[in-house]
Amino acid sequence: MTLNTDMQVNRIDDYLWEIPPSEKAGMLVPARIYASPAILGAMDRGVFDQVTNVACLPGIHRFALCMPDGHWGYGFPIGGVAAFDPEDGIISPGGVGYDINCGMRLIRTDLTRSEVQPKLELLMTELFRRVPAGVGSRGFVNVNRREFREVMRKGAAWCIAKGYGWEEDLERIEERGCLDGADPAHVTDYAIERGINQLGTLGSGNHYLEVQVVSDKNIFDRETAAAMGLTGRDQVVVMVHCGSRGFGHQVASDYLKVFEKAMRRYGISVKDQQLACAPFRSPEGQEYFGAMNCAANTAFANRQVITHQIREAFAAVFDSTPHALGMHLIYDVAHNIAKVERYGDGEWLVHRKGATRAFGPGSPELPDCYRAIGQPVICGGSMETGSYLLVGTNRAMHDTFGSTMHGSGRTMSRAQAKRSVRGEQLLRDMKQQGILVKAVSMSGLAEEAGLAYKNISDVVNTVDQAGITKKVAELKPIGNIKG
């Protein structure tokens, strides 16, 4: 097998590969990549270079990981996971990503495709109107600076208190939609000014809101699906992919500059400037952690107010109420985050960058409704091919710090995608496939064409076979909103 690296990559089993510390000076632990042979062979050189760079960071525990949707990123690869000793290890914005708490949310309905299809155009128009997307869009939630700081501290709970959601939503959000330790004092005015008007907006790039269908043949585990409120029979669900928008990006940018200087003070050297970091317990590390938690909570709030708008749109179009339509939240989970979590006897600062928490059955962090089955894991595919709902496993708790993949992963640059297909043509082709798209930008639409992504089924089958998450259902798009 030919790989895009000169390093030695040892096979552990059909879905797990390891690069030993001898392959790069400074590696403190091995690097491990979850991939089928075909996916490993297609991975770009950046994955191998970057996951081994991560393995050199101070305080790293056991190994640096990359998931099968991995590809080159800033600092960490996308799909990167690493755990650090909170006492002696570092925290790095490059291990979280610029879009802090970018994540996925899935909402169920009692509606079927046959009920939605006649009103799909109206529904997508209403969703497009209520959930702004694209360059410079502003949300419907108007807050002043004092209120925005409350959003930073309280996350989704702030929204519920304001009437943007249901009390039951909170238990179905990772960390109940609020990370402890958010400290607005460590957020710059620039970040606040970028974020204060963006609550309730999708953004652009690979972010989307999608109306999907779950058919009987696409449910792989009926009992687990039922526990999440999925019954099949062409049931309609709604998926949201977005994060902390410009606010989170500014927090990350601000602290990369702080950490570049701090590294000299603490005598830390890194293989890549975008891995700038500081000791977690240092003043700089704690300040970033406080600001990052603010951005994470704002992202939870963003997805919560978007959920409110989705419920209102469905209620208006179907002349009903969100409760009567059964619009319960299935789950909300981050895939760009750093959190202190307990594994075995110890606590570790786990960085997930384009990787999803996947806690197994019995985890005390899970709500009662999911404790027996494990945590729902939402993995978004391209807008043409569909997405998956999976569930966490105890093997993930042991092998991957309770982590798994987050999406399909790109195989083609944005410029290449735009040369391969025009947005207007893609819009028509997708309509013929039964997928109604509303997009702000035709060039942005072309950049997200399905041909630019890996086949998500191949990626999902890898984590399923590796045992770090199990497939529950495949979700097929019928409507998509893009920035």
| Residues acting as catalytic residues | 406
Give the alpha-carbon dihedral of 53, 54, 60, 64, to 10 degrees. Answer: -110
441 binds another protein (CB under 8 A): yes
Among 101, 250, 293, 400, the residue binding another protein under the rule CB under 8 A is 250
193 binds another protein (CB under 8 A): yes
CA-to-CA dists, residue 259 to 19, 146, 263, angstroms: 28, 28, 6
In whole angstroms, the minimum distance from the beta carbon of 418 to another protein comes to 9
Using CA atoms, how far apart are residues 373 and 93, in angstroms rounded to an integer? Answer: 32
Angle at 304 between CA 301 and CA 306, to 5 degrees: 110
Among 162, 194, 281, 395, the residue binding another protein under the rule CB under 8 A is 194
b/e code 315-328 from CB counts within 10 Å (16+ = b): bebbeeebeebebb
In whole angstroms, the minimum distance from the beta carbon of 41 to another protein comes to 17
Using CA atoms, how far apart are residues 158 and 164, in angstroms rounded to an integer? Answer: 9
In whole angstroms, the minimum distance from the beta carbon of 323 to another protein comes to 32
Among 111, 256, 333, 475, the residue binding another protein under the rule CB under 8 A is 256
Among 16, 78, 277, 292, the residue binding another protein under the rule CB under 8 A is 78
Instruction: Pick the closer one to another protein by CB: 127 or 478.
Output: 127
Say whether 359 sits in a helix, a strand or coil: coil
Cα 35 from chain centroid? 19
In whole angstroms, the minimum distance from the beta carbon of 371 to another protein comes to 35
Using CA atoms, how far apart are residues 164 and 159, in angstroms rounded to an integer? Answer: 5
Please choose, out of 110-118, 232-240, 301-309, 437-445, the segment that lies near another protein by the rule CB under 8 A.
Answer: 437-445
Among 58, 73, 95, 386, the residue binding another protein under the rule CB under 8 A is 73
Instruction: Pick the closer one to another protein by CB: 303 or 471.
Output: 303
Q: Burial, 21: exposed, middle or buried (Cβ in 10 Å; 0-12, 13-18, 19+)?
A: middle
Instruction: Pick the closer one to another protein by CB: 328 or 414.
Output: 414
DSSP state of 282: S
Tell me the Ramachandran region of residue 208: left when phi exceeds 0, alpha when psi lies from -120 to 50, beta otherwise: beta
Please choose, out of 175-183, 336-344, 367-375, 438-446, the segment that lies near another protein by the rule CB under 8 A.
Answer: 438-446
Please choose, out of 79-87, 179-187, 191-199, 304-312, the segment that lies near another protein by the rule CB under 8 A.
Answer: 191-199
Please choose, out of 58-66, 119-127, 242-250, 393-401, the segment that lies near another protein by the rule CB under 8 A.
Answer: 242-250
In whole angstroms, the minimum distance from the beta carbon of 334 to another protein comes to 17
Among 5, 52, 109, 197, the residue binding another protein under the rule CB under 8 A is 197
422 binds another protein (CB under 8 A): no
Among 273, 321, 425, 433, the residue binding another protein under the rule CB under 8 A is 273
Please choose, out of 2-10, 252-260, 263-271, 305-313, the segment that lies near another protein by the rule CB under 8 A.
Answer: 252-260
Backbone angles phi, psi at 31, to 5 degrees: -110, 135
Backbone angles phi, psi at 90, to 5 degrees: -105, 170
98 binds another protein (CB under 8 A): yes
End-to-end CA distance of the chain: 39
- With tokens 């609550």, the residue in question is 199
Instruction: Pick the closer one to another protein by CB: 363 or 408.
Output: 408
In whole angstroms, the minimum distance from the beta carbon of 248 to another protein comes to 8
In whole angstroms, the minimum distance from the beta carbon of 321 to another protein comes to 30
For every residue of 136-180, DSSP letters joined together read T---S----HHHHHHHHHHTHHHHHHTTSS-GGGGGGBGGGG--T
Residues 111-150 as x/- pattern, contact with another protein by CB under 8 A: -----------------------xxxxx------------
Instruction: Pick the closer one to another protein by CB: 186 or 249.
Output: 249
Length of the chain: 483
Among 23, 332, 447, 464, the residue binding another protein under the rule CB under 8 A is 447
Cα 26 from chain centroid? 30
Instruction: Pick the closer one to another protein by CB: 184 or 203.
Output: 203
The percent helix, strand, coil of the chain (3-state, each to 5) is 40, 25, 35
204 binds another protein (CB under 8 A): yes
Say whether 60 sits in a helix, a strand or coil: strand
C-beta separation of 64 from 98 below 8 A: no
Instruction: Pick the closer one to another protein by CB: 7 or 412.
Output: 412
Backbone angles phi, psi at 165, to 5 degrees: 140, 180
Angle at 244 between CA 242 and CA 248, to 5 degrees: 140
In whole angstroms, the minimum distance from the beta carbon of 141 to another protein comes to 15
CA-to-CA dists, residue 92 to 54, 181, 199, 399, angstroms: 10, 17, 26, 22
Ranges within 27-66 binding another protein (CB under 8 A): 44
Strands 336-343 and 346-353: antiparallel
In whole angstroms, the minimum distance from the beta carbon of 357 to another protein comes to 21
Among 113, 249, 351, 357, the residue binding another protein under the rule CB under 8 A is 249
Interface ranges with another protein (CB under 8 A): 44, 71-74, 78, 98-99, 134-138, 190, 193-195, 197-198, 203-206, 245-246, 249-250, 252-253, 256, 273-274, 410-416, 440-441, 443-444, 447, 483
